[in-house]
Chains A and B, each alone.
Chain A
Amino acid sequence: MTALALNDVCVSLGGARVVDRLSFDVEPGEWVALIGPNGAGKTTALRALAGLVHYDGRIRVLQDDARTVARKELARRVALVPQVPLVPGDMTVRGYVLLGRTPHLSYFGTERRTDQHAVDMALEQLDLVPFADRRLDTLSGGERQRATLARALAQDAPVLLLDEPTAALDMGRQQQVLEIVDRLRANRGLTVLSTMHDLTLAGQYADRLLLLDGGRLVAAGTADEVLTRALITEHYGAEVEIVDAPGSGFVVVPVRRTE
């Protein structure tokens, strides 16, 4: 049983091939991070999994071919947290998290007690109870990110797709959000597939890293297999040192060469 399985997935946008014959599996309960330079196709791969872009090849979600799964059923299996969510400022946090229940409701249906309960749980797990009646445009960036996560959590999908969950957060908030995701993964048995820019954090939190470049998968494995100086120099064009920090995994340090 695999949670996600991609088989020769290709996506073209505006004539350019952005994702190129991408194949990988994600096991249930696993946290896999997609890493790679800008334009590597990480976000597009997530969007294909969420059914938002046309793709060739095959995607399986909880064993079923994603093409044969209805849009609503797909949303019950896969929750997507976009990198820059469109935040309706005049909505309350509770109203926003309630939107996560959408795939569980009929077209003209309204939320029942079970839906309200799921929202209560999500608010609680992300420490948002005191914010429940606040408008979204009064929240800080970190609080907003938690609200978006809560919405995805209320969706009650076993697979969580996170697009740069820590972008625009300070160091402390980054750790906080990633710890929350890890805790939820443990508590709820979620499968997490996230794109990540910060390689050190990716190595610390994900079970496996998949390195993409030019839409292709160029390396896969644990942090010590993928976070190598050679691979990063080749695919990011960056000068780095990899420092083994015992107990904290590998730290990727940018290096400035001065003549």
Chain B
Amino acid sequence: MIRSAGARLWLPAALVFLAAALLAGVLVGPVNLGALDVVRATFAHVFGLHSPLSGADDSILWELRLPRVILAAIVGGTLAAAGASYQGVFRNPLADPYLLGAAAGAGLGATLVVAYAPASAVTKDLLPLAAFVGAGIAVIAAYVLGRSAGAAAGSAALVLAGVTITSFFTALQTFVQQQNVDTVQEIYSWLLGRLATAGWRDVGIVLPYAAVSWAVLIAHRRLLDVLAVGDDEAAALGVNVARVRLLVVVAATIATAAAVAVSGLIGFVGIIVPHTIRLLAGGSYRLLLPLSVIVGAGFLVFADVIARTVMAPAELPIGVVTMFFGAPFFAVVLRTSRRTG
């Protein structure tokens, strides 16, 4: 497979996939809006023109569907890119964005707010913040713990520290949840991921982190390829391995924490999307990282469409969809494309 030809083939394909997902995302729903009008109304909003849709339809598009679709795209792109980057810096195919405890920390933060803060509008605002802070504390704790094992221990120590912190925070979270059985439903729905309440505010919260993170991760794509030959050989090639790893982990983690804060815990995206791309388009991070952002975005938008249609008017938790439909799909990709090169 020729690398540059791969880029020429896969980048446009990924963009078409994302465009199809976005269109499906805004079109599918109880009210039929019409593809052309949806596109024109979206442009009208962006450039301050008159929308061709009626007032009610316009609100459905602009207040309900579009923010939800955009949020799904940002979260999906972030989780996939963060997953790919984690797999690169830890040289571990099973690494996902939650490897260093981000999920457990965010879960604990969210659970504390749901369980102990009095229900009010303020609480709703507090939840993303608590999840973000919880994720941050967990990852920093894991990093400090991993580094205390000595730089020589390298990435393995960091991974073990992440496992340790995850267990500890999960234990705390479970304990708090058991003490407050009346809120289990609410906590559980958060843990399984939710985009149902998405609004432009959520998009505003996560977008700055996501944009910076994507830029930093994609800028490291060449160095992630260098890390593939191991810490020692990368160092012999003049790379400061510890610094690259720290920068990539920080960028991936902050964006993951922001994504988790607004959408809860959506599993498997960070594993399935990068690996599917690897199997189809090759393992180089030069192509893998940009593709992960694009395909991850499209993947989560499609997953969300499924989540809100299969049992309509009820909604499936999106985390259930990503795993239920993601796992068989991944199994097929794994079977058909392994070792064809």
| Complex contact A88–B229 (CB within 8 A) | yes
Task: Give the interface size class of chain B.
Answer: 20 to 34
Q: Is A95 an interface residue (CB 8 A)?
A: yes
A76 contacts B230, C-beta separation under 8 Å: no
We find that the number of chain A residues with CB closer than 8 angstroms to chain B is 38
Given A51-B235, A82-B233, A105-B222, CB of A88 within 8 Å of CB of B228: yes
* B341, A85: Cβ atoms closer than 8 Å: no
B219-255 vs A, CB cutoff 8 Å, 1 = contact: the mask equals 1101101101110111111111000000000000000
Are B236 and A80 in contact (CB-based, < 8 A)?
Answer: yes
Question: In the complex, what residue of chain B is closest to A80 when comparing beta carbons?
Answer: B236
B278: CB under 8 A from chain A?
yes
Contacting B283 at CB < 8 Å: which of A72, A79, A91, A108?
A: A91
Contacting residues, chain A, for B234 (C-beta < 8 A):
102
Q: For residue B158, give the distance in angstroms from its CB to the closest CB of chain A.
A: 18
- Residue from A72, A88, A110, A133 in contact with B238 in the complex, judged by beta carbons closer than 8 Å: A72
| Nearest A-chain residue to B5, judged by Cβ | A133
Per-position binary interface string of chain A over residues 69-94, scored 1 when its CB falls under 8 Å from any chain B CB and 0 otherwise: 00111111011101001111011101
Q: Is the CB of A85 within 8 A of B233?
A: yes
Complex Cα distance, B337 from A90, in Å, reads: 13
Contacting residues, chain B, for A242 (C-beta < 8 A): none
**B341–A102 touching, CB < 8 Å:** no
Contact (Cβ within 8 A) B283 A90: yes
Are the CB atoms of B237 and A133 closer together than 8 Å? Answer: no
Is the beta-carbon distance between A110 and B237 smaller than 8 angstroms? Answer: no
User: Given A90-B282, A94-B3, do A52 and B236 touch, yes or no (CB 8 Å)?
Assistant: yes
In the complex, are the beta carbons of B284 and A91 less than 8 A apart? yes
A85 to B232, CA, bound (A): 10
- A195 close to B (CB within 8 Å): no
Q: Is the CB of A50 within 8 A of B284?
A: no
**Complex contact B237–A86 (CB within 8 A):** no
The residues of B that contact A95 with a CB separation of less than 8 Å are: 3, 225, 284
* A97-152 interface (Cβ within 8 A of B): 99-100, 102-103, 105, 107-110, 133-135, 138
Q: A103 CA to B283 CA in the complex, in Å?
A: 22
Verify if A155 is at the interface (C-beta below 8 Å from B): yes
Instruction: For the complex, give the distance between the alpha carbons of A109 and B226 in Å.
Output: 13
A-B contact pairs, 16 of them (CB 8 A): A51-B236, A75-B236, A75-B238, A86-B233, A90-B282, A91-B225, A91-B228, A91-B283, A92-B3, A99-B226, A105-B222, A108-B219, A108-B220, A109-B222, A110-B222, A138-B341
User: Besides A50-B236, A85-B230, A86-B233, 5 other CB < 8 A contacts?
Assistant: A85-B233, A86-B230, A87-B229, A90-B278, A92-B1
